[in-house]
Amino acid sequence: MNFFGFGQTADIKVELTGSETREKVPVKLENGQTEKQPLYFDGETVSGKVHIHLKYPGKKLEHHGIKVEFLGQIELFFDRGTHHEFSSVVKELAPPGEMLRNQTFSFEFKNVEKPYETYMGINAKLRYLVRVTIIRRMSNIVKEKDIAVHSLASYPEVNNRIKMEVGIEDCLHIEFEYNRSKYHLRDAIVGKIYFLLVRIKIKYMELAIIRRETTTAPGGQSHYTENQTITKYEIMDGAPVKGESIPIRLFLSGFDLTPSMPNVNKKFSVKYYLNLVLVDEEDRRYFKQQEIVLWRKAQTSRSALAATQRHE
Amino acid sequence: MSQKGKGSAAKPGAAMSQDALLAEASRAVKENAFAMKRSLDEDKLMDALKHAVAMLSELRTSALQPKTYYELYIKVTDELSHLKTVLEDIFEKKGPISDLYELVQYTGNILPRLYLLITVGAVFIETNRVPAKDVLRDLVEMCRGVQHPLRGLFLRNYLLTTVKTLLPEEQTGEGGTIHDSVDFVLLNFAEMNKLWVRMQHQGHSRDRTRREKERLQLRLLVGTNLVRLSQLDNADVDMYKATVLPAVLEQVINCRDPIAQEYLMECIIQVFPDDYHLATLDKLLTACAPLHAQVNVKAIVISLVERLVQFFSQSRADAAATAGVPADVDLYKVFADNIRSLFQARTTMAPEDAVAIQLALMKLTIECYPENLDYVDEIFKNTIDHLKSVGLTTVEPRTAACEQLSLLLRLPLETYPSLTPALKLSSFGNVLSMFSYATRHALAVFTAKKIADSNFAVSTEAEADVVFGELLLPLLGEVEGQPKSFHQDGSFVEEQVVVARVLSLVQGVDLDTQAQILASLKKQLLAGTIHRMRYCVPAHVFKALQLAQGYSDARDDDELWEKKCSKLYSMVRTCVLALAEGELPMLALKLFLQAALVTSTTTFAKSETIAYEFCSQAFSLYEEEVSDSKEQVAAMTLMIGTLQRITCFTEENYTPLITKCALLSSKFVQKPDQCRGVCACANLFWSGKLADSDEELRDGDQVLKCLKKAIKVARSCLEPSTQASLYADIYDAYTSFYIRGCEQVTNTIKEGGGGGVEE
């Protein structure tokens, strides 16, 4: 009917329940821009209304049914276009028929499972969306609405400090200590570097946070690994001598971090490393990487948090 | 640990001059500061912070030398204070920006981050948002991240100056107490000192001189910490003793760096109050021993001592001041003990430095314990012991050690108005014996003048031993190293005159003591050369005679006085004979006559014999040794005068003597002398007195004989004017005898004795 542009068509608008009050978080899009998306957590009901607005009032819209889906998808860079759906719930809003006027449908995905966190990486993307489809003979009318999902974790049961002595024989021996091995995203890394032996002329020392994203090709044969330096943080200027202890305190909340994701649907993983780098006067670099686990903690009052961090 | 990469160490700006580098950096600072202020005006705090970071990044340079870096630092911190003011304003008006402390910590580079953190931290403290102690502790700890000495020193200096007025000084308080403040400054100090010391060991060894110069330029930054500690209101002496000083000293000692140790010790001494030093003397001094061998410990100890000396003398001058020499601490002992262990620990110390330290201690001792001479004595003893222990038995003249040692000796002499205390010092002589002749001699002259000027009377044997046996020895007797021609020295006579004055001042507490002193002096004097005797012996003889008179005056109190007198006279005889043998006949003659005169006044059994002996000695000297005619006349005049005054002779002794006088007078070479001589002798026959009578001799015949002889001689005189004057003299004599009632003379006058005069 709308073959030549005359047929009836419709605008779909998805309105999520409580969108006014719900927290929105920025999510990076493919085109480099950021979009604020409403934030949901695992098990939370996703409900709302679908408004279908006919373009030409009075004309009827034939369809083969209207459905709403809740989807969780993973898209890998080398396999673009293929969306691996790890989660899919479909609800029928209307049986096949005709629409004569604008109509609003309510939908509800009760306690829907959202096992992973929204992730926009280099080679992997994980998104959740609500998709409304008006099924038609020729071309469906589709509307997608992205939502952001944060997966909260509880306090890790074991959270040992990381303490290690490393060195190059007769050249440099240091002992580093990070107060934990698992940090939540608004945490601060507190630690110290203790110099046991220094025979090189160190220029400076920095701590880098590295995100390692590993994607697995279908079938599990090949892996692609991307290392991404989130930040470089100078923690020492100048050459220490034996016996010096250099403090570390790095607040995490200012950086674009996600929780560590060991295995997302066998498709990809995201890990974080602290890379301690010492650079000597000849610009040689000495480094040691140490994995840390990042987790997302349910948000509490911000200022109270800052206060506790400061005193740790 | 893994390693990778090797790049070339780029040194940007190495070729540029310091001025050019500074100009460039300053321009960047100015631009960024301008942008920062504009953002602040527009209420864009985040942008302002970004510009502040850019501005602060200029301080990350490694190309600037300390002086230039300092200029840049001043520029940057000036601008930073603007940011601080604005932040305070915002906090005041709109309440705190709670995230700010965290926000600035996202700065990637550590140096700008810490400068910002300090600035923000200060604002938080100032607006009472967080307990000061937590912020202070955090800041001072975080600053450890800057290990580059120059940048670290300035950063920590910024920290100290920024929170300077914000340190809690209360005894209790939620924001922190004085203890927190002390800990804070101490930690900052320790870290700064480490950085400062480290500068010494970085870079090429060929740059050492330059590096040391640079370090000296930076020392104030380190010292400021100590100044701040001294200014903390509630940091009392107990806290200083228990916390501050031990911590500071620990740093000083452990850094093992001569420049730092020297400066910091000096700094401690200068910045903290005197009563603090008094309470911690032992600690402070003990700390000197382990200092680096190159450290000038002498200067440190002296500076401490002088500070205390000044303090005491001031508090003495200011009568209202309650502070004085503490009663519970024996300052001398503390110093002495520590100095002793200091010497033991520092065997390489130059002897002059060791002596200089003792000299300082001496000043302190005299200032604090003027009464306690044992201390002074002990200082001498310790000094000698130390010098000997380092193998120094004599100090060469014109060396520093000699200079210091002389000063050490002079100090007590100069200080005490009376010499009595100084002479009780038994070690004095030991110190003296360290010197070579020239120095001892100079010291002796100094002492002699001091004694003479103060009219000090040597009054006991012990004193005499010290004064003549030690102090003045180089002026009295043979001392090793004395040059042969010492008596030709320009000042020799002057010196000896002073010695003679000292001798003439000798006044024993009682007669016997005086006798003892003189007896021992005699030995010493006679052992010397004639050049000295000439000046000293007369003084000694007069003292001896005076004493004899003294015995005589007190004859009722002392049964043995006669014996003592004869002993004295015998001593006098020996002394005068020594002079005579030394070819000083005139002097000896005069002294014999003087002795005779005195003897005659001290009447006792042997006095006549003794007086006669003196007179006969005088006569024999006259005859044998006095050959010059003028001297003969002078001597004879003296002899005549003496004999006339002596009243102890019997006729048996007297007559030969006066007859001899007349005889000798008539043998003068010159006629006028003969004439006048016999006239004078005439008097002897008339007014001379004998021991057994109160009457004068009144031997008119002899008188006339003499006068006639005089006329005879006058007559034989060829020169009319001389003759006239002689006649006048004779006429005078005649007249005088006439007045005195000499009949014979009266007759002669009648007979025309005046004939000659008429002629």
CATH no. for residue A134?
2.60.40.640
User: Which one of B7, B102, B113 has the shortest CB-CB distance to A283?
Assistant: B7
Q: Which has the minimum average pLDDT: A270-274, B270-274, B475-479, B562-566?
A: B475-479
Query: At A173, phi and psi to the nearest 5?
Result: -130, 125
Touching check for A172 and chain B: CB below 8 Å?
Answer: yes
Q: What's the total number of domains in chain B? A: 2
Nearest CA in chain B to A238: B148
Do the domain assignments include residue A85?
yes
The stretches of B554-628 forming alpha helices (DSSP H) are: 561-581, 585-601, 607-625
> Could you tell me if A19 and A80 lie in one domain?
yes
What pLDDT was estimated at residue B13? 44
Distance, CA of B620 to CA of A261 (rounded, Å): 135
In chain B, residues with a C-beta closer than 8 Å to the C-beta of A273 are: none
> Could you tell me if A145 and A230 lie in one domain?
no
Touching check for B144 and chain A: CB below 8 Å?
Answer: yes
Touching check for A210 and chain B: CB below 8 Å?
Answer: no
Mean pLDDT estimate for chain B: 85
A245–B110 C-beta distance less than 8 A: no
Touching check for B202 and chain A: CB below 8 Å?
Answer: yes
What pLDDT was estimated at residue A300? 60
In chain B, residues with a C-beta closer than 8 Å to the C-beta of A277 are: none
Do the domain assignments include residue A301?
no
Query: What are the DSSP calls for A119-163, one per residue?
Result: EE-SSEEEEEEEEEEE--SS--EEEEEEEEEE---PPPS--PPEE
Distances (CA, A) of B592 to A224, B159, B574: 131, 91, 11
> Could you tell me if B492 and B639 lie in one domain?
no
Give the domain extent around B680: 627-759
Average pLDDT over residues B426-432: 78
> Could you tell me if A89 and A180 lie in one domain?
no
> Could you tell me if B640 and B708 lie in one domain?
yes
What secondary structure, in 3-state letters, does B239-253 show? HHHHHHHHHHHHHHH
Task: Work out the percent of chain B whose per-residue pLDDT is above 90.
Answer: 31
Touching check for A207 and chain B: CB below 8 Å?
Answer: no
What pLDDT was estimated at residue B420? 67
Asked whether the whole model's pTM tops 0.95, one would answer: no
> Could you tell me if B649 and B507 lie in one domain?
no
Average pLDDT over residues B534-556: 86
Closest approach of chain A CAs to the CA of B390, in angstroms?
39
CB-count burial class (<10 Å; 0-12, 13-18, 19+) for B93 = exposed
> Could you tell me if B641 and B579 lie in one domain?
no
Q: Identify which of B200, B245, B243, B240 has the alpha carbon closest to the alpha carbon of residue B218.
A: B200
Contact indicator for B534, B582 with CB cutoff of 8 Å: yes
User: Which one of B4, B151, B202 has the shortest CB-CB distance to A285?
Assistant: B4
Using the predicted structure, report yes or no on whether residue A310 has a pLDDT greater than 80. no
Closest approach of chain B CAs to the CA of A210, in angstroms?
15
Touching check for B256 and chain A: CB below 8 Å?
Answer: no
> Could you tell me if A137 and A234 lie in one domain?
no
pLDDT, greater one: A110 or B738 = A110
> Could you tell me if A182 and A140 lie in one domain?
no
Touching check for A245 and chain B: CB below 8 Å?
Answer: yes
What pLDDT was estimated at residue A154? 85
> Could you tell me if B584 and B446 lie in one domain?
yes
B5–A285 C-beta distance less than 8 A: yes
CATH no. for residue B702?
1.25.40.660
**Residue length, chain A?**
312
Q: Which residues pair with A12 in a beta bridge?
A: A52
A310–B109 C-beta distance less than 8 A: no
> What pLDDT digit, counting tens, does each position of B72-118 carry?
999 999 999 999 999 999 998 888 888 899 999 999 999 999 999 99
Using the predicted structure, report yes or no on whether residue B449 has a pLDDT greater than 70. yes
User: Which residue's structure tokens are 């209360």?
Assistant: B170
Using the predicted structure, report yes or no on whether residue A12 has a pLDDT greater than 70. yes
> Could you tell me if A135 and A169 lie in one domain?
no
> Could you tell me if A16 and A82 lie in one domain?
yes
CB-count burial class (<10 Å; 0-12, 13-18, 19+) for B191 = buried
Q: Which has the minimum average pLDDT: B154-163, B598-607, B691-700?
A: B691-700
What pLDDT was estimated at residue B128? 79
Do the domain assignments include residue B201?
no
Using the predicted structure, report yes or no on whether residue A301 has a pLDDT greater than 70. no
Closest approach of chain A CAs to the CA of B208, in angstroms?
18
User: Which one of B102, B105, B148 has the shortest CB-CB distance to A238?
Assistant: B148
Per-residue confidence band for B436, with pLDDT thresholds at 50, 70 and 90: confident
Residue B553, Cβ neighbours under 10 Å: how many?
Answer: 13
Mean pLDDT estimate for chain A: 89
B144–A245 C-beta distance less than 8 A: yes
> What pLDDT digit, counting tens, does each position of A45-99 carry?
999 999 999 888 888 888 999 999 999 999 988 877 888 999 999 999 999 998 8
Using the predicted structure, report yes or no on whether residue A176 has a pLDDT greater than 90. yes
Do the domain assignments include residue A5?
no
Residue B373, Cβ neighbours under 10 Å: how many?
Answer: 20
pLDDT, greater one: B687 or A112 = A112
Q: Which two tokens stand for residue A119?
A: 């992730």
Average pLDDT over residues B539-546: 88
Do the domain assignments include residue B388?
no
Nearest CA in chain B to A282: B9
In chain A, residues with a C-beta closer than 8 Å to the C-beta of B153 are: none
What pLDDT was estimated at residue B452? 84
Q: Which residues contact B479 (CB under 8 A, 6 or more apart)?
A: B437, B440, B441, B473
Using the predicted structure, report yes or no on whether residue B307 has a pLDDT greater than 60. yes
Average pLDDT over residues B631-650: 85
Do the domain assignments include residue A2?
no
Touching check for B237 and chain A: CB below 8 Å?
Answer: no
Give the domain extent around A172: 162-295
Do the domain assignments include residue A208?
yes
Distance, CA of A36 to CA of A22 (rounded, Å): 11
> Could you tell me if B635 and B519 lie in one domain?
no
Do the domain assignments include residue A154?
no
> Could you tell me if B492 and B571 lie in one domain?
yes
Do the domain assignments include residue A137?
yes
Do the domain assignments include residue A155?
no
- A302 three-state secondary structure: helix
> Could you tell me if A32 and A112 lie in one domain?
yes
Mutate to test the interface with B, among A204, A276, A286, A308 (most CBs of B within 10 A): A204
What pLDDT was estimated at residue A306? 41
What pLDDT was estimated at residue A304? 38
In chain A, residues with a C-beta closer than 8 Å to the C-beta of B4 are: 284-285, 287
> Could you tell me if B584 and B710 lie in one domain?
no
Q: What single DSSP character describes residue B494? A: H
Q: Which two tokens stand for residue B149?
A: 């000495």
> Could you tell me if B572 and B675 lie in one domain?
no
Nearest CA in chain B to A207: B108
> Could you tell me if A141 and A166 lie in one domain?
no
Do the domain assignments include residue B726?
yes
Closest approach of chain B CAs to the CA of A306, in angstroms?
7
> Could you tell me if A174 and A266 lie in one domain?
yes
Distance, CA of B662 to CA of B29 (rounded, Å): 115
Dihedral sign from CA coordinates of B522, B557, B506, B647:
negative
Do the domain assignments include residue B548?
yes
Touching check for A30 and chain B: CB below 8 Å?
Answer: no
> What pLDDT digit, counting tens, does each position of B460-492 carry?
888 888 788 777 888 877 777 777 777 777 788
Q: Which two tokens stand for residue B527?
A: 């052992």
Touching check for B1 and chain A: CB below 8 Å?
Answer: yes
A166–B147 C-beta distance less than 8 A: no
A283–B8 C-beta distance less than 8 A: yes
Residue B275, Cβ neighbours under 10 Å: how many?
Answer: 14
Q: What's the total number of domains in chain A? A: 2
- Let me know the angle formed at the C-alpha of A134 by A132 and A139, rounded to the nearest 5 degrees: 120
What pLDDT was estimated at residue B71? 95
Do the domain assignments include residue B756?
yes
B102–A236 C-beta distance less than 8 A: no
What pLDDT was estimated at residue A6? 57
> Could you tell me if B453 and B579 lie in one domain?
yes
> Could you tell me if A26 and A74 lie in one domain?
yes
Distance, CA of A183 to CA of B348 (rounded, Å): 59
Touching check for B142 and chain A: CB below 8 Å?
Answer: yes
Give kind and range of the element (H or E) at residue A228.
strand A223-237
Amino acid at B138: D
> Could you tell me if A14 and A143 lie in one domain?
yes
What pLDDT was estimated at residue B595? 87
Do the domain assignments include residue B658?
yes
Nearest CA in chain A to B148: A238
Distance, CA of B445 to CA of B472 (rounded, Å): 7
Q: Among B543, B573, B591, where does a domain finish? A: B591
Using the predicted structure, report yes or no on whether residue B751 has a pLDDT greater than 70. no
Contact indicator for A16, A24 with CB cutoff of 8 Å: no
**Residue length, chain B?**
759
Do the domain assignments include residue B143?
no
Closest approach of chain A CAs to the CA of B124, in angstroms?
13
Using the predicted structure, report yes or no on whether residue B753 has a pLDDT greater than 60. no
User: Which one of A166, A232, A237 has the shortest CB-CB distance to B146?
Assistant: A237
3-state helix, strand and coil shares in percent for chain B, rounded to the nearest 5: 75, 0, 25
What pLDDT was estimated at residue B749? 62
Do the domain assignments include residue B188?
no
> Could you tell me if B587 and B440 lie in one domain?
yes
Chain B contacts in chain A segment 186-205 (CB below 8 A): 202, 204
Average pLDDT over residues B508-527: 84
> Could you tell me if B638 and B740 lie in one domain?
yes
User: Which one of B9, B141, B144 has the shortest CB-CB distance to A281?
Assistant: B9
Touching check for A301 and chain B: CB below 8 Å?
Answer: no
In chain A, residues with a C-beta closer than 8 Å to the C-beta of B103 are: 254
What pLDDT was estimated at residue B5? 58
A234–B7 C-beta distance less than 8 A: no
B430-434: which pairs have CB atoms within 8 A and are 24 or more residues apart? B430/B380, B430/B381, B430/B384, B431/B380, B431/B383, B431/B384, B431/B405, B432/B470, B432/B471, B432/B473, B434/B384, B434/B387, B434/B392, B434/B393, B434/B394, B434/B395, B434/B405
What pLDDT was estimated at residue B323? 55
